Amino acid sequence: MSFEQPTHFAFDESSEAEIGKILAKYPEAKKASGVIPLLYVAQRQMGRSTGSAWVPKVAMDVIAGRLGMAPIRVYEVATFYFMFNMKPIGRHHLQLCGTTPCMLRGSDDVMRACHDAAHVQVGQTSADGLFTLTEVECLGACVNAPVLQVDDDYFEDLDYERTVALIEALKRGERPTPGSSIGRQTSAPEGGPLTLVDVPGVVVAGGE
Amino acid sequence: MAKVTVDGIEVEVPNGATVLQACEAAGKEIPRFCYHERLSVAGNCRMCLVEVEKAPKPVASCAYPVADGMVVKTDSPVVRNARRGVMEFLLINHPLDCPICDQGGECDLQDQAVGYGMDHSRYREAKRAVKDKYVGPLIKTIMTRCIQCTRCVRFAAEVAGVPELGATGRGEAMEIGTYVEKALTTELSGNLIDICPVGALTSRPYAFVARPWELRKTDSIDVQDATGTNIRIDTRGPEVLRILPRINEDVNEEWMADRGRFSFDGLKRKRLDRPWVRVDGGLRQASWPEAFAAIATKLKGMRGERIGAIAGDLVEAESMFALKALMAKLGSENLDCRTDFAAVDVTRPDFYRFNTTIAGIEEADALLIIGSNPRTESPVINARIRKRWVAGRFPVGRIGPAGIDLTYAHEHLGEGPDAIRALLDGSHPFMEVLKTAKRPMVLLGRGALMRADGLAVLAAAWEVARQADALREDWHGFNLLHLFGGQVGALALGFLPGASGQDIGQMLNGGVDALWLLGADGVDPATIPAETFVIYQGHHGDRIAGRADVILPGAAYTEKDGTWLNTEGRVQRGHLAVHPPGEAREDWRIIRAASEALGATLSFDSLAALRDAMALDEGLERRFVADATGPAADPSAMSAAPFVLPLANYHQADVIARASDVMAQCAATYAAPMPVAAE
């Protein structure tokens, strides 16, 4: 649990550009509504600059100042949503869904793969600092179960081997294409389209 | 108005009222934890569930608006079952530590568990435990007991104006706290203890001290600031164990400032409990007759104009009246009560009172503060100003040192009298704000009068009020905010130099041979000439007592029946809660006894007779201005020197607080640079 809180935080140029777009959505008097997007901006910036996407206290203070809120109101929001990491995490945040559909489709194997390949237990960060593993509730991608969220990307239709391959690729610094790991289009049926294939004039992507 | 039937009783309540208010109007008690009349509605404890006809399920009455023709049941089986369910859930994580909990005996949860709790628990899992938080030297936290009603969070954000408490985390992990370890930066923190319905926030100095049923409760008045907060002194035997506010809507609502609430441990330290007489240069313990004899030897035969008397800031009206009468008998007009050298004009009462009245603040629609920081000078009045500010459309301007957080937004107009000049000649736009306001207020701090040009400042502030049309037959917008409970009483009694009398400056400048200091702890001993014979009558051996030639041990405000006037001029009476320690006596009795020894026996020999003779104007009807003529001084005589605030250290501003260990801890905590200063 012990870690050091940075003493200084300032938004960089690309964060400022994002913030400009975010705050343009809210009237000046209601700019506090931007607190959640701004927390994301801060978390992503920490990921870019330090390799660990988390929100330090000083960043919350900066956001509070920017939005004219009391700092405690920002702490309340940030600690309420577990998507905001209140302590440093690994380079990649592995968030594995273990809710019923994913569990039925083999999330336990994916979990095992994470243990074996990334050498990390739930709630911990691997010794090499590359991975933090979190078990999460439904990610809303049940049709492509089991799902592993790596940072902001979903990797779907996983099994043990493909998860190991994914983690090994991440270790090499590669970034595999997100989405279905068996190549199906979004949540279309496995093996290609089965309906509407004989309608004249309709060309179904992925069909013959 | 909406007609609501509560348990068959028909009541009419205003539209927009809540069901809970309707139930109370019908005389039905609704249990509650999160709901508090003076805070916003949270509706999260669910204890106030009632059944409303045609509603599909029980509703939280505190957050449910009434509708015409509504039929409410507060005691049906559905309601009782619902509340039992709520209580069972509340108790799941609440520890069963009532025997060691300081809230025991006055705990809302304990009381309501008697009504709605089960005799056993069905919960077999592990209870959660929460780490205690540090929120300052006055409040002890045992956060495992917290039921998350968020009253404290709302109090801090809404009333105290320091949004530093919050609920972090969620669900099982939700905790109330400051997130970062820090003492709450408010002078009203003691109220969190009152407001907490369970034992999560309790008084640190009162920890493990007493149970409520052991205490004798005495009504009194807080004299440690000029608010006149109505208090209840809880005592056991000869000891004051705690002080709590009483409800008085016109004065303090139900709040109280920390210095008045927590500095009573100073009543047990550094006390003068027997007379002392200076013999051969050293102070020696003496008996009362010896002390009176020493005074008589010195004063008998002395010409009246060579004797002077100075009254201090916390003294009650009775003893000042007695001392004034004694001085008159001795032929002296050398009286003064302004140990802070404040310039006052007492030709009319409204020149030195808070004429708008504290409750009247809520009707004001613009405010100018001159030379005052009401947040430290009267935290409770500041909370009332904040309450008005929160209600909206309340521009506040302030003249005084820059960089002060009043807990509400205000415009800083300048540091010194030049800003008043700019208002008067119309060159500052804030004058327009005051003029367009229908009920503008000018709040002048007593600190602004503690300077050579004080009378000119007073006249200038009055002139601002006059020009802003704040002095009308239906509105009095001129206010003087005093600092301590005895100050207005002294002015009302005219404890001031007579026509040929000397003021405090002249008396200290060798104008008198004998000086009677009645609780005058504010006098700097170094300013008293070496040859002056000093009689000190008071309750604490503060620095001035060491200079005295005779010390007469008096009673502190908790130890006497007394009358105090708050800054409004409101006449309020406190009662004796404990007897003065040792040989110490009530102050008016000491003066009465001394008068006999001096051969100038005063006519009254009971408190009732004294009060009859004193004949203070007891009424406090709202004062309006019949005559807008201001104090006689010339506003243009103001110097350019910026205003200096009188209380450098809120927690140790008076003699009782200076003797208090608790206040010393507070001073150490808060006098250090505040964490907010970093911003």
Higher-pLDDT residue of B469 and A202 is: B469
Q: Name the band, by pLDDT with cuts 50, 70 and 90, for residue B543.
A: confident
Q: Using CA atoms, how far apart are residues B54 and B68, in angstroms rounded to an integer?
A: 13
B interface mutation test: which of A72, A81, A82 has the most B CBs within 10 A? A72
The closest alpha carbon to B153, from B128, B135, B171, B131, belongs to B135
pLDDT value at A190 more than 90: no
Question: Could you write out the DSSP letters of every residue in B200-256?
Answer: SEEESTTTTT--GGG-EEEEEE--SSTT--EEEEEEETTEEEEEEEPPBTTTTBT--
Are B167 and A76 a contacting pair at CB < 8 A?
yes
Mean pLDDT value across residues B153-174: 94
The closest alpha carbon to B316, from B66, B167, B490, belongs to B490
pLDDT value at A97 more than 90: yes
This model of the complex carries an ipTM of 0.87
Residue B458 to chain A, least CA–CA distance (Å): 37
Q: Using CA atoms, how far apart are residues A109 and B278, in angstroms rounded to an integer?
A: 92
Are A75 and B165 a contacting pair at CB < 8 A?
no
- DSSP class of residue B326? H
- B163 and chain A in contact, CB less than 8 A: yes
Going from the C-alpha of B109 to that of each of A144, B58, B105, the distances in angstroms are: 49, 21, 10
pTM comes to 0.92
Q: Which amino acid is at B658?
A: R
Give chain B's mean pLDDT. 93
Is the CB of residue A142 less than 8 Å from the CB of residue A154? no
How many residues does this entry show for chain A?
Answer: 208
Residue A122 to chain B, least CA–CA distance (Å): 18
As a whole-number percent, the residues of chain A with pLDDT over 90 amount to 84
Are A70 and B165 a contacting pair at CB < 8 A?
no
As a whole-number percent, the residues of chain B with pLDDT over 90 amount to 90
Q: Name the band, by pLDDT with cuts 50, 70 and 90, for residue B675.
A: very low
Q: Using CA atoms, how far apart are residues A145 and B558, in angstroms rounded to an integer?
A: 73
Are A75 and B166 a contacting pair at CB < 8 A?
yes
Residue with tokens 């613009």: B366
- DSSP class of residue B65? B
Are B168 and A73 a contacting pair at CB < 8 A?
no
pLDDT of residue A207: 45
Are B166 and A72 a contacting pair at CB < 8 A?
yes
Q: Using CA atoms, how far apart are residues B65 and B437, in angstroms rounded to an integer?
A: 33
Is the CB of residue B262 less than 8 Å from the CB of residue B666? yes
Question: Could you write out the DSSP letters of every residue in B571-609?
Answer: EEEE---SPPSTT---HHHHHHHHHHHTT---S--SHHH
Are A75 and B167 a contacting pair at CB < 8 A?
no
- DSSP class of residue B365? S
Which of B164, B169, B679 lies nearest to residue A72, judging by beta carbons?
A: B164
Is the CB of residue B394 less than 8 Å from the CB of residue B375? no
Q: List the single residue in A with minimal CA-CA distance to B676.
A: A71
Q: Name the band, by pLDDT with cuts 50, 70 and 90, for residue B225.
A: very high
The closest alpha carbon to B626, from B514, B504, B476, B487, belongs to B476
Q: Using CA atoms, how far apart are residues B634 and B87, in angstroms rounded to an integer?
A: 67
Contact residues, chain A, for B679 at CB < 8 Å: 65
Going from the C-alpha of B124 to that of each of B121, B127, B198, B453, B542, the distances in angstroms are: 8, 9, 23, 73, 59
How many residues does this entry show for chain B?
Answer: 679
Are A70 and B170 a contacting pair at CB < 8 A?
no
Mean pLDDT value across residues B325-334: 95
Is the CB of residue B551 less than 8 Å from the CB of residue B353? no
pLDDT of residue B624: 66
Q: Name the band, by pLDDT with cuts 50, 70 and 90, for residue A194.
A: confident
Task: Categorise residue A129: left if φ over 0, alpha if ψ from -120 to 50, beta otherwise.
Answer: left
Contact residues, chain A, for B42 at CB < 8 Å: none
Structure-block tokens of residue B306: 């060579």
Cα end-to-end span (Å), chain A = 55
pLDDT of residue B542: 83
Contact residues, chain A, for B135 at CB < 8 Å: none
Structure-block tokens of residue B635: 């506003």
Structure-block tokens of residue B432: 């327009």
Q: Using CA atoms, how far apart are residues B608 and B610, in angstroms rounded to an integer?
A: 5
Task: Categorise residue B678: left if φ over 0, alpha if ψ from -120 to 50, beta otherwise.
Answer: alpha
> Which residues in chain A (40-99) have CB-CB distances under 8 A to chain B?
57, 65, 70-73, 75-76, 79-80, 82
Contact residues, chain B, for A72 at CB < 8 Å: 163-166, 178-179
Mean pLDDT value across residues B288-310: 94
